[in-house]
Amino acid sequence: MTVWRKALAGMGAALAMAGGAAVAAEPAARATIEIRADAPGPVIDPEIYGQFAEHLGGGIYGGVWVGEDSKIPNIRGYRRDVVEALKALHVPLVRWPGGCYAEEYHWREGIGPRAARKVRVNNSWGGTEESNQFGTHEFMDFAELIGAKAYINANLGAGTPQEMVDWIEYMTSSSRSALAQERRANGRDKPWSVDWIAIGNESWGCGGTMRSEYYADLYRQWSTFVRPPGDRPVRKLAVGPSGDDYAWTETVMKSAGKMMDALSLHYYTLPTGDWAKKGDAVAFGEAEWAATFKQTLKMEELVTRHSAIMDKYDPDKKVALAVDEWGTWYDTAPGAPALNQQNSLRDALVAAINLNIFHAHADRVRMTNIAQMVNVLQAMVLTDGDKMVLTPTYHVYALYRPFQGATAEPIKVTAPDYRQGEVTLPGVHASAARDKAGVLHVALVNLDPKQPVTVSAAVAGLAARKVSGQVLTAPAINSINTFQTPHVVEPKAFDGARLASGGFTATLPSRSVVVLDLVP
C-alpha cells in the first residue's frame, strides 16, 4: 500500500474538461482511485448489455416493425434507422415478447401468413389491439438482423407446458417433425438458436400472483420438459424476486436452484419510490436528481444480498443472477403511448452507475436487460413516424461497448460525498476492465450536478503510454435530445486526462460520464 500512496501523492491536478469547454468557476473537488490491473477479476459477460422488447406502447409497432409496405425506410419491414442504431451498439441479447405481455401470449397466433393472424386484445397494457403481425419469425429474424441472441419468455401464467415445448421444437428442431416442417412451410428452413427460455415472468405479480413455493414447484415441472435438440442447447431462467424480496430467492433457490441456469431480478428506479406518483421524466430539479440516484444505488445492496443467498445453494456460481428488468420509470405524460417517457442526462448517469454495479458483480451477474429498447421506459431510441432520435442512455451504452467481454479489474474510489438536502451519496462512481488487447477502460461518473472533481488514479499492473477518452454531459441536469435538437446530449472527445507516475489524473465535469482508454 505504501507504493500506492506514493503514486497517489505524486499526481498533479488534471487539465480542464472535454471539447475545449471551460470548467465551472467553482474549484474542483478531489478524489483518489486505486485500480488493481494486476489482480484481474471475472470476465464481464456481454449479455450484461442485453435489451428488452415488449408488446406495449410503441415498443414494437412503429418502433421496430413498420411492415414492408411502409413509406418509412425499412429492411423487410424492420425500421432501417433503428436496426442500424442497434447494430452499432453491438446488442448481445434481446428479450421478447415480455414482460407481463408474455403471460398472455400464445405463439401460434403469431405465425403463418400475416393477413390470417388473429387480432387480440392486449390486456396487460391498456386493452389495445394486438395484430400479431410481429411474431416468432419476425422476432427471430430481427435478432439475427442486429446480431443479437434470442431470449424467449414462455407463457407460464395462461399457457401450458406443452405449448412451451412445442414452441421450442418449432424454433430449434432440424428434424422432419411436424412442427419443424410447419416452420419450413412458414418460410424458415434452417432452425434458429434460442439462447434463453424464461419459464414465466413476475409470477409473484402479473404472471399469476403466486406464492414462491407454488412457483418453485411449477418451475420444477415445466423445466423438466425443456429438451431442445442436443446441438442447440437452451439455457433456462427461473422467475426471481422483485426488489428486496429475499424470501423469494431463498425459496426458489432451495427448491429448484439445481434445475436452472439463471434466476431473474426486477428492480426499477423510481425517483419517489412511490408507484402511485413516480415523478416526471423532464420537469425535475436537484432534489429529484439526488432522490433518483439514491434509489438507483440500491441496486448494489440488492445484487449483493440476493447473490449471498444464491451462494448458499450454488457456491460454484453456476446459476447467473439475471437482472432482466431494470431502469428508470416515470409517470407517463398525458396522451402519450403506454410507458413512453423522455430520456435525459439523468438517465444516462443512472445507466452508467448500474452498469458499473453489474461489472463489480460479474461473477454472479451475467445477464441484464434494460427496460426497454425502443420508445418504452429507459429506451435506447425514440421514434415518431419517420423520425428517430438517439437517447442519452444510448450514448452511455455506446461509450461502454469496450466493457463487453473485458476482464473486470478491482477498483476502489475515495471521493467527497455529494449532498442535497437530507440525501448523501458517493460523489464519484467508477468501473475498470481490461480488454483482450490489453487496453484498460475506466468509466467514471460524477454525480454532483454543480461541481467538477479531479481524480488522481493509481494503476497497479499497467504502464500506460497513452490515455484518451470521451465525455457525456450537457448544459442542464434535465437536458434531452429531441427530434428537432438531437445532439444536445452526446459524447465528445475528452482531453482532461493526463498520464502521471503510476497512473493518471482527470478532471471530471459536473454531472458527467467519462470513459478513458489507457493503452499499454
Domain boundary residue among 404, 434, 460? 404
Confidence of residue 20 (pLDDT cuts 50, 70, 90): very low
SS3 track for 454-507: EEEEEEECCCCCEEEEEEECCCCCCCECCCCCCCCCCCEECCCEEEECCEEEEE
Backbone angles phi, psi at 191, to 5 degrees: -65, 155
pLDDT of residue 229: 78
- The last residue of one of the domains, among 373, 404, 435, is 404
Q: Which domain holds residue 90?
A: 46-404
Residues 67 and 96 both lie in one domain: yes
- In this predicted structure, the answer to whether residue 437 has a pLDDT above a threshold of 70 is yes
**How many Å apart are CA 461 and CA 456, to the nearest integer?**
16
Active site residue 325: yes
Instruction: Classify residue 395 as exposed, middle or buried by CB count within 10 Å of its CB (0-12, 13-18, 19+).
Output: buried
The DSSP H or E segment spanning 5 is helix 2-9
User: 338 with 126: CB under 8 angstroms?
Assistant: yes
Instruction: Say which residue, 126 or 393, is predicted with more confidence.
Output: 393
Q: How many domains does the chain have?
A: 2
Q: Over range 203-213, report the average pLDDT.
A: 98
Q: d(Cα 288, Cα 294) in Å, to the nearest integer? A: 10
Mean pLDDT of 359-371: 98
Q: What is the CATH number of the domain that holds 504?
A: 2.60.40.1180
Q: Which of 65-69, 110-114, 229-233, 485-489 has the lowest mean pLDDT?
A: 229-233
Report the pLDDT value the prediction gives residue 150, as an integer from 0 to 100: 98
Residues 212 and 299 occupy one common structural domain: yes
* Alpha-helical regions (H) of 225-285: 246-256
Phi, psi angles (nearest 5°) of residue 198: -95, 130
pLDDT band of residue 402 (cuts 50, 70, 90) is very high
Q: Which three cell numbers stand for residue 412?
A: 476502489
To the query of whether residue 288 is one of the catalytic residues in this protein, the response is no
pLDDT given at position 339: 96
322 and 451 both lie in a single domain: no
CB-CB neighbours of 109 under 10 Å: 14
pTM for the predicted model, two decimal places: 0.94
Of 367, 382, 404, the residue that ends a domain is: 404
Q: Are residues 344 and 489 in the same domain?
A: no
Strands 387-390 and 381-384: antiparallel
What pLDDT score was predicted for residue 28?
A: 84
The answer to whether 264 and 248 are in contact (CB under 8 A) is no
pLDDT at 121 over 60: yes
Higher-confidence residue of 22 and 286: namely: 286
Q: Is 58 exposed, middle or buried (0-12, 13-18, 19+ CB in 10 A)?
A: buried
User: Which 3 state secondary structure label does DSSP give 295?
Assistant: helix
**Mean per-residue pLDDT for 340-369?**
98
Residues 19 and 54 in one domain: no
DSSP character string of 276-325:
TS---SSS--HHHHHHHHHHHTHHHHHHHHHHHHHHHH-TT--SEEEEEE
**Of the listed 103, 104, 202, 288, which one is catalytic?**
202
Q: What percent of the chain has pLDDT over 90?
A: 92
* Distance, C-alpha 15 to centroid of its chain: 33
User: In terms of domains, do 345 and 431 share one?
Assistant: no
Q: 3-class DSSP state for residue 49?
A: helix
Average model confidence (pLDDT) across the chain: 94
Are residues 37 and 91 both part of a single domain? Answer: no
DSSP state letter for 25: S
Confidence of residue 101 (pLDDT cuts 50, 70, 90): very high
How many CB atoms are closer than 10 A to CB 186? Answer: 14
pLDDT at residue 231, rounded to an integer: 76
- Tell whether the model's pLDDT for residue 279 goes beyond 60: yes
Average pLDDT over residues 296-321: 98
* One domain, residues 125 and 34: no
Q: Are residues 297 and 167 in the same domain?
A: yes
CATH number at residue 118: 3.20.20.80
How many CB atoms are located within 10 Å of the residue 312 CB? 12
Residue 26: predicted pLDDT: 63
Tell me: do 106 and 221 sit in the same domain. Answer: yes
- The answer to whether residues 91 and 113 belong to one domain is yes
Catalytic residue (choose from 325, 409, 422, 490) = 325
Task: Please list, in sequence order, all residues whose beta carbon lies within 8 angstroms of the beta carbon of residue 375, skipping any fewer than 6 positions away.
Answer: 57, 58, 59, 62, 63, 337, 340, 381, 382, 383
Q: Tell me, what DSSP letter sits at residue 72?
A: S
Per-residue pLDDT at 8 exceeds 90: no
And the C-alpha cell for 431? 468501473
Is residue 102 located within the same domain as residue 249?
A: yes
CB 430 within 8 A of CB 357: no
Confidence of residue 228 (pLDDT cuts 50, 70, 90): confident
